[in-house]
Amino acid sequence: MAQATAGQRIASRNPLEIVIDRTWRFFCSVRVAMAEIALLAVLVLIGTLRGSSVPDSIAVLLPFTRPVVDAWYAWDVFHSLPFMGLLTVISVAIAICTINRVPGIWASIAHPTIATTHGFLRNAERSGEITSPLSPAALATQSRAAIAKSGYRALADERQREIHLYADRFRYARLGTFPFHLALILILVGGIVSARWGFREMEFMLAEGSQRAVGYGTDLSVRLNDFSETYTEQGIAADYHSDFTLLRDGEPLESAIISPNHPFTHGDMTFYQSGFGQAVVMQITDVAGNVRFEDALPLGQFRSADNPEAPAAVIDVPTAGVSMTVIAPDENPRSQPELDQLNLRSGQMYLLLRPLGPSSPIAEPLAITLNQGTPVPAGDLSITFLRETRFSALQIARNPGISIFYAASFLLVAGLAVTFYFPHRRIRGIVSPTPGGGSKLVLAPMARRDWSGQQAFDRLLNNLETSLGAPIARIDRVTEPPAGAAGRQHVATSP
Amino acid sequence: MDALVRFSFYCFTAASIAMVTSAICYIAYAVGRVQVRQARLQTSAGTAFVGHDTRFTPQSVAVARFGTMLAWFALAFQALSVLLRTIAAGRVPLANMYEFSSTFLVVLLVMYLVFERTYGVRQLGAIVLPLAAGMAAYIWLLPAAMREIDPLIPALQSITIMTIHVGLALLAYSTFAVAFAAAALFLVATHWRVAWLPSPDLLDDFGFRAVTIGFPALSLVLIVGSIWAHQAWGAYWSWDPKETAALFTWLIYAVYLHTRTLRGWRGNRGAWILVFGFAAAIFTYYGNYFFGGLHAYGGV
Amino acid sequence: MSAIDPTHASTTTPGRLPRVAAGLAIAVALAAVAWIVSERAGLGSIGQGGINQHLLPKVGDVAPDFKTADLFGNPVRLSQVRGQPVWLMFWGSWCPPCRVEFPEVQRAYERLEPDGPRLLGVSVRESPLDAASYAAQNGATWLVLSDPTEADTDTAYPLYNVPTHLFIDADGIVRSVDVDSPRNLARSPSASRRKLKTFG
């Protein structure tokens, strides 16, 4: 009858309600959640192996998989739509799953079911039995007090001349799952916030003495005052750092020295030392002797098309109406000398000059070999390779999600610690009258196939024994391996 | 200082010998005594075996006790080795694969011996100690240049956070190794029902307890790593292969914990997840061999 | 416990003292075997490398003498300038960091000159001609030496990194070893004064 009415109620609901109900239940399902996490794990594995030579080895072993492997390398899993979609689905599932568990968990904390059955106590793998000449009510009161001494909350409920007992400890630890799952969602939120409102400039190259605007909608610029590096005797870079000044609209704001692992933070922006390299200082003057351009160009961002061992720099100089490509001498002339067709000596740079804009001072592209310190005419311009210098590669990032991430980290660790190290232990029992006017208490833990839970129960029984001053009969039904025969039972009474 | 480095390596040699002999003792104990009875048949052409019958009987616990003692010696020597190297280098040795693996052995042995004492079962040594001996063999095969102390490259010059990050990773890896041992023994115990192996429930719980240490540790590895990455590289997550490999491992153990606590997947299925999770952990450990990326230093 | 490991209880345990003694004996035996194995396996040289490997003379040591040639092939000894502070530099025009610091080295040298240190710049791993032309192009006023194959200086001054600078006082004692650039000498007066003090 009850089933029939429930069925009618569902049938009478409108389709939207049914869809919502189905979606909710879909997201609540632990089975579905596990499938989602497993799928995520597979995608993460695919993405991880993409950074290795493993797929390549597969293709070498099984040549017909080559197209799949090529596609594998080409697919940037972690920034792909399916991956993002899956993360979103999982976040929603975590939220719904967790919300769905609130009533149950809260009920078990605030209003646990006290009543139990003799069947539960009989079938428990471990139980303890106390016989007492006291009345059931007196024994219940006494044992509740003794259980409470061990840090348990002990509740009792009288039904049909028997008193049912329920005791638990660390009940609030069950809430630990909420901060943990909230933290997972917050970490994703932090990532989204950083991606949406932050930025990360990976290669902000700046030569010594140069100044460059930060960009990204800020009015800040950076000037590199000095860069220095030290090496160990073994030739390993021991330390390198940049001394730079931050400017707003040309006015110095703050100066700092940064090195790897020691960034500098200004407001919500952080400056990191990431690398360094070789740069070349070029000067362009016009016929009147006015300096149209003088700056250091970082070498190495580009390479000569003919010789990958020759670092190069490319820059458009609108103030002079030219575009410059500077190629430095081969870094390693002894390897593959046939590639080095420019044959530059130390102290020389190869310059390719192209016209830029309609009023360029040069009519057609020019190729010139520059000697350090010697000006070379090019149309109305004079170009000088002044000297070589260093550049420092900085990273500049604004990461507004980081505080969310820190908060989430704390919640995650706290949630995990509470869940695992303060497990909710529960014990049930029944006090029943015995024929002689006395009473009997049988206790058993809710710890099926849970060795640690049973150990905790044993410790509780030991405490009870001391505080009640009465022997406890212990029953230990050791289960055989699954699919085995009936459990072997041996009863041991402690001395 | 050079003498310290040398003595440190000698201690590792002693620890290696102790681990190998300890592994042999534990295996002997777990397998039990094998008795092979052969029935002989006399023919005119000579003697021919017609059949044999294998029987396992429990080995004396003294063998396991000996294994435990050797494992403690291995720990003592290995800890001394790491301590001497710490003094010589002025930092905890975690900078290359040799140092990392040496320190890992200390954590693994501590973790195993603590679990052995808590649970009072010695049979897991038959899996953990061979793993430790294998790790020692791997250390012997590493390039000899790694045995020398090299100065830290600037990217790693954040000793406190490096020690926490890498130390927690070692803790996580070793607990996963212990969980794997419990799971493997569980699978053996339920499959063959060898009488003197610990009860499957205990093994199941053993594995779970190990994961309850390892999973938070791995979570902390990811968090501390992210904080370090934020300090050093400007982004707390870069989808670097080693990061994602650790994330992969983390997800597997997350599945294990959820299926076990919410769906009651104990026993066989849980054990298989633990075996798989340990494979992922090994993959993460040796990840530096497979990928470049930001964690490429100190590896190979 | 008894349910877990029934064999535990049944074993008779020997007394505590003999067990400790046996354990100690085994530990000592382990250490002895390990020692013999390690020595036999030729592991006695571990520890000499890495940070314990000393290549260049240390601060406070007497700078070892060497004999090499100037750009014209005339022999030059380090000991010839004993009695005067010496700034000994190893460089090469093929090395970009050397080229980067070249102007600063020249400027720093010009600042130091009145106090009398000699700058000996040993060009390595290149021909004397390359060294000469680069030094001339960039106006080097100090003594350029050339040791193309490092045959003359490698024993006393093994180089893993170029440029390398050593500051040696008038008594021939090494006062500073800089495996980096001395550009601060040129840039900051206080740094050059500090460095000057090392010249004794």
- Identify the top-confidence range among B116-120, C10-14, C39-43, C66-70: C66-70
Report which of B294, B285, B246 is spatially closest to residue B97, judged by C-alpha positions.
B285
**pLDDT value at A9 more than 60:** no
| Cα dihedral A74/A78/A79/A81 (nearest 10) | 90
User: Could you tell me if C129 and C92 lie in one domain?
Assistant: yes
Cα-based distances in Å from A473 to A19, A305, A461: 55, 88, 10
User: Could you tell me if C79 and C127 lie in one domain?
Assistant: yes
pLDDT for C197: 52
pLDDT for B69: 94
Alpha helices in A325-444 (DSSP H): 402-421
User: Could you tell me if C32 and C71 lie in one domain?
Assistant: no
Classify C44 as helix, strand or coil.
Answer: coil
Average pLDDT for chain A = 86
β-pairing, C86-91 vs C118-124, is parallel
Give the domains, in start order, of chain A with CATH numbers. Answer: 2-101 (no CATH), 112-170+423-479 (3.30.160.110), 199-333+340-398 (no CATH)
Task: Give the minimum alpha-carbon distance from A148 to chain B in angstroms, rounded to a whole number.
Answer: 26
| Cα dihedral A182/A184/A188/A190 (nearest 10) | 60
Q: How far apart are CA A7 and CA A4, in angstroms?
A: 5
- Chain B segment 202-261 residues within 8 A of A by beta carbon are 202, 204-206, 209, 212-213, 215-216, 219-220, 223, 226-227, 230-237, 239-241, 244-245, 247-248, 251-252, 254-255, 258-259
- Assign A478 a pLDDT band (cuts: 50, 70, 90): low
Average pLDDT for chain C = 80
Q: Which of B1, B5, B60, B204 to mutate to test the interface with C (most CBs of C within 10 A)?
A: B5
- Assign A460 a pLDDT band (cuts: 50, 70, 90): very high
User: Could you tell me if C170 and C99 lie in one domain?
Assistant: yes
- Taking the Cβ of residue C46 and every Cβ of chain B, the question of whether any pair is shorter than 8 Å is answered with yes
Q: Which of A346, A389, A479 to mutate to test the interface with C (most CBs of C within 10 A)?
A: A346
pTM: predicted TM-score of the whole model, two decimal places = 0.82
- Taking the Cβ of residue C99 and every Cβ of chain A, the question of whether any pair is shorter than 8 Å is answered with yes
Chains in touch with A (≥3 Cβ pairs < 8 A)? B, C
Segment C151-165, tens digit of pLDDT: 888 888 988 888 888
User: Could you tell me if C137 and C67 lie in one domain?
Assistant: yes
Q: Give me the CATH number covering residue C161.
A: 3.40.30.10
- Assign A351 a pLDDT band (cuts: 50, 70, 90): very high
User: Could you tell me if C36 and C99 lie in one domain?
Assistant: no
Q: How far apart are CA C120 and CA C70, in angstroms?
A: 10
**pLDDT value at A489 more than 50:** no
User: Could you tell me if C193 and C166 lie in one domain?
Assistant: yes
Interface A–B counts its CB contacts (< 8 A) at: 144
Last residue of a domain, one of C10, C36, C53: C53
Between residues B36 and A61, which one has the greater pLDDT? Answer: A61
- State the angle between helix axes of C189-197 and C96-112 in degrees (0 to 180), rounded to the nearest 10: 80
Taking CB atoms and an 8 Å limit, are A234 and C160 in contact across chains?
A: yes
User: Could you tell me if C73 and C49 lie in one domain?
Assistant: no
**Pick from A163-177, A475-489, B39-53: least confident:** A475-489
The stretches in chain B having pLDDT less than 70 are 1, 34-56, 193-195, 290-300
The tokens describing B73, both together, are: 């010696």
Q: Provide the terminal-to-terminal Cα distance of chain C, rounded to the nearest Å.
A: 77
Q: Residues of A with CB below 8 A from C181's CB? A: 228-229
Q: How far apart are CA A9 and CA A24, in angstroms?
A: 18
pLDDT for B189: 81
Compute the half-sphere exposure of residue A234: CA atoms within 13 Å on the CB side of its CA. 14
Task: Give the minimum alpha-carbon distance from B253 to chain A in angstroms, rounded to a whole number.
Answer: 11
- Name A313's Cβ contacts closer than 8 Å, sequence gap at least 6: A279, A280, A297, A298, A299, A300, A301, A302, A324, A325, A326
Q: Residues of B with CB below 8 A from A238's CB? A: 151, 154
User: Could you tell me if C21 and C88 lie in one domain?
Assistant: no
pLDDT for C182: 59
Give me the domain span that covers residue C91: 57-197
User: Could you tell me if C83 and C119 lie in one domain?
Assistant: yes
Taking CB atoms and an 8 Å limit, are B62 and C3 in contact across chains?
A: no
**Pick from A257-271, A301-315, C126-140: least confident:** A301-315
Segment A307-350, tens digit of pLDDT: 888 889 999 999 889 999 999 988 777 777 777 778 888 889 99
Q: How many domains in chain C? A: 2
Residue located via tokens 């500090």? C194
Segment A182-210, tens digit of pLDDT: 999 999 999 899 888 888 888 888 888 88
User: Could you tell me if C28 and C83 lie in one domain?
Assistant: no
Last residue of a domain, one of C9, C25, C53: C53
| Cα dihedral C136/C138/C142/C146 (nearest 10) | -60
pLDDT for B55: 64
User: Could you tell me if C31 and C73 lie in one domain?
Assistant: no
What ipTM does this complex have? 0.84
- Taking the Cβ of residue C54 and every Cβ of chain B, the question of whether any pair is shorter than 8 Å is answered with no
Backbone dihedral region for residue B96 (phi beyond 0: left; psi -120 to 50: alpha; all else: beta): beta
Q: Residues of A with CB below 8 A from B239's CB? A: 47, 78-79
Q: Residues of A with CB below 8 A from C97's CB? A: 278, 390
